[in-house]
Each structure stands twice: as structure tokens, then as C-alpha cells.
A = this chain, B = another copy of it.
Amino acid sequence: MADYLPHTDEDVAAMLAFLGLQDLDELFAAVPAAMRLAGGLDLADGEPEPDVLARMDAFARANRAADLLCFAGAGAYDHEVPPVVRALAGRSEFVTAYTPYQPEVAQGVLQAVFEYQTMVARLSGLPVANASLYDGASALVEAVNLGAGASGRQTVWVSSGVHPHWRGCLRTFSRGSGHQILEIPLAGGVTAWPGDTAVAPGAPGGAAGRPPGAAAGGPPGVVVVAYPNYLGCLEDLAPVRRLADAHGATMVVAADPVAAGILRSAGEWGADVVVGEGQAFGTPLSFGGPYLGLFCCTTAQVRRLPGRLVGETVDLEGRRAYVTTLRAREQDIRREKATSNVCTNQTLMAVTAAVQLGWLGTGGLAEVALRCARGTRYLRDAALAIDGVSPLTGSTPVVRELALRTRPPARTVVDRMAAEGFLAGVALADLVGDDGDGSVDADGAAHGLLVAVTERRTVEEINGYLVALDKAVRQ
């Protein structure tokens, strides 16, 4: 029997005596007897830590994926996380603290989050960032809620270039919020916005010819686009801003925060809200979580901002201090009037991102982005020379990720390359399903392979990948 409980038998006896109780069961007198669990939980008895560690290690060893050289992306990237970032973000004061409800003893977390907010706001080109949401998808859901609230309209036009899982979440949550989600298809890797002449001159319904009908909810209150989109393509955001302006809609950009290191900022493109997945900043791949939802907006929208916000203030003696602010937006005060239900969020990942961005600094972030783009270009040029590999998105410029079409089904390619030691990428069918969606058709889903090259991949690794890819598509 091993646990973390300090109570000796004597302690328990003394405490029961103090309470005038005979035994521990009496503590649960209020629980109707019939309901109580008779024989205890049907779980094995506790095991000592070293045995448990061995078991957990066995799970870990059973994950072959951890040993594969990672060329997968799709929103989760194998970026450098240096020992210094792990050491600092792992300090137990950050790890074992609660939400900073008592600012006098929580300046550490509060200041780190304040710095995080500043960094993320600078990245986005917008003036306000919150203290984190669960992940990119939840940030997008919140952005749509904000946008619909701001515009007063529930119709949401979402580019199919937005990550399929994020669109899935939007659909799921729209069941509660009542938003009308319209997914705008891609053509050649970029969104075919309906009615935007700059996109599809002369065609009222846009290039894809599938205009959202009037039945679908009328003019959009929110327009959502990804930059770059999930296939890695760089879309022109000017038409999106025009669309939003034309309809008085909120423009939401789901931006890749690493690519932002070399791309024009979403704020500059005119975004009202910028969301993103912050995993790339110091958080390991982690089988998908905990990750970090980035969320930025304009000052005008700050009172609709979901989640926590840290602001600077002073203490009674006038010393600089930080505190969570605009608490009225949160649920603990106005309850059903809250802008969102988020309470526990991903603060530790935000602190981690602050440390990682502190480590990268101005030059490092640009360098990481540039190196990703270089690796992607290098791999793309060579891959397209392979017989059996073609581009899935034409010649649209890509930045840190690209979609290839492989002659065999992409899932087969992934399996074959796993045997060679590579995580080849993500098969599009795993993201969009076998039938495809507005981003790719069924053939694209079956043969589309999404490949990401981060700054960690050496030319030897990429060359090895190309050899294995060549083999996998020929087989």
C-alpha cells in the first residue's frame, strides 16, 4: 500500500475522536446506504510507483511513432524545444499553481502571461491577446462566437482551407450556438469565395460555382479563412477583407503562428480576430494535447473576448503589478451572460510559449519560419521530380507544409514509409474522411499526402525521406 496521504492511524483516530465519530464510514452518513458501493471499486489495488512507471514506460515503448522521423504536420509540428525552455516552463511554481485568483502571490504566472499576451499580439498584428484557449479549434469556435455576437448575424462562411478538424468542431458546437456554418470550397488550393469578383470575375457564385444559397442563412456575419491554409497554401486575404466589409462581417483568420515569422501579419491583412494553434511554441507533439489556443482581437472587441485576460496595474504602494481583468466576461460573475464558458485553460502552455518566444526572440522566430520554408521548398522540388508524385494544389505558393498526390493511396505510402523509419505525413483521408470535402474530392482524399518540414529536418533526413518516398510510390 503506497499513496500520498499523510494520515497515520493515530492521526485518523485523533481526528475521528475530535469529530465524535466511530469510524471513517460515518463521514459518509449523508450518502444513502443503498447507493453506496458495496465491495469497493472493481479496480486492482494500488501498485508502487516504480511498478507503475514500468507500466507507463511499456505504453510509451509501444508507440513506434515516437521513433519515426517526423514529416507530419497538419497543425502539430516537430519544432525544436531546447532544454532551457523545458527547464524553465517545468518549474514547479508554474506547474503546480492554480489560476491566479490571488494576484499578490501569483505575479509569476501573471507576468509571464502578460508577456505572452504581448508576444502573441505582436505576432498577430492585433492589439489584444487572451491568456490561452484549449487549442486551435476551440479558439476558432470562440472566434466565431465573438464574430457572430459582434455582427449580430449567425451565418458563418468558413473557407474549406481551414483545418478539417477545426471545421468539425465548428459544426459540432454550432448545434448549440445555432450558427449556420457554410463551408466554402477550395479550387486549386485556395478558397473560391462566392461573389467576390477579384476571385472569380464575372461568376456570381465564385469559381467553385457552389454559392451558398439564400436558404443557407443570408449574408455572412463571420468570414473565416486560414493563412496559410491547412494544405500549406498562401491565400490572398484582400478579397476576404472586402467580403467582410461588404457584409459588415467579422473577419477571422486562422493563422499559423510560426509562418507568421515571415508572413505579412493577419492584422495587416485586416483581420478582426486572429486565432491559431500555439503548440509550435515549446510544446511537444504530445499525441495532440495539451496544446494552446491563440486568440487575438481588436480593442473594440475586448469586452467580448473569451477566456482570461491579464492586465497591468499597481499595488497599494504604487508598484507595478499584474492581475486578471475584465472578469465580468467570465462565468464566475455574470454566469449565463458570460462571453464563453472557458474556465481552466492552457496557462502552462502559454507560459511555455512565452519562454520559447523569449528564447527565439525577433531573429530566432524569423529564422525558424525561414528554415521551414526552405526545407519545404527543397522537399517539394525534389519530391515532384519523383515519378508517381505530383502536386495536389497546383503551383499555389506554400510556406511550411505542402500537399502531394501519391500514385498509391496516401495511407499506403504512410504505412510503407513507417517501415523505413519515416512518419511520411498525414494522409488526407485521415483528416477529411474517404469522401473528401470542400477542400479535396474523394480522389484527393485517397491520394493526398500532407507533408511538413520543420527547421529540425536536415538535408540528409530529407534526402532519406525522398529515397523512401520514391520506393513507396513505386512499390
Identify the A interface with B (CB < 8 A).
49-50, 53, 80, 82-83, 87, 92, 456
Contact = CB atoms under 8 A, between A and B. Distances in A.
Contacts of A92: 87
Mostly helix, strand, loop or mixed at chain A's interface?
helix
Contact of A49 (B49, B50, B82): B82
Contacts of A53: 83
7 closest Cβ pairs, A-B complex: A50-B80, A49-B82, A87-B92, A50-B456, A50-B82, A49-B83, A53-B83
A263 to B, nearest CB: 25
Contacts of A456: 50
Nearest to A54: B458
Nearest to A87: B92
Q: How many copies does the complex hold?
A: 2
Nearest to A49: B82
Contacts of A50: 80, 82, 456
A53 B81 CA distance: 12
Contacts of A83: 49, 53
Contacts of A87: 92
A170 to B, nearest CB: 37
A92 B456 CA distance: 28
Contacts of A80: 50
A82 B52 CA distance: 12
A92 B50 CA distance: 25
Contacts of A49: 82-83
In this complex, the member of A50, A80, A83, A87 whose beta carbon has the largest number of chain B beta carbons within 10 angstroms is A50
7 contacts: A49-B82, A49-B83, A50-B80, A50-B82, A50-B456, A53-B83, A87-B92
Contacts of A82: 49-50
A50 B456 CA distance: 9
A230 to B, nearest CB: 28
A49 B85 CA distance: 13
A32 to B, nearest CB: 40
Nearest to A456: B50
A174 to B, nearest CB: 43
A62 to B, nearest CB: 18
A345 B23 CA distance: 52
A92 B91 CA distance: 9
A7 to B, nearest CB: 15
A82 B53 CA distance: 10
A92 B49 CA distance: 25
A49 B53 CA distance: 30
A80 B49 CA distance: 11
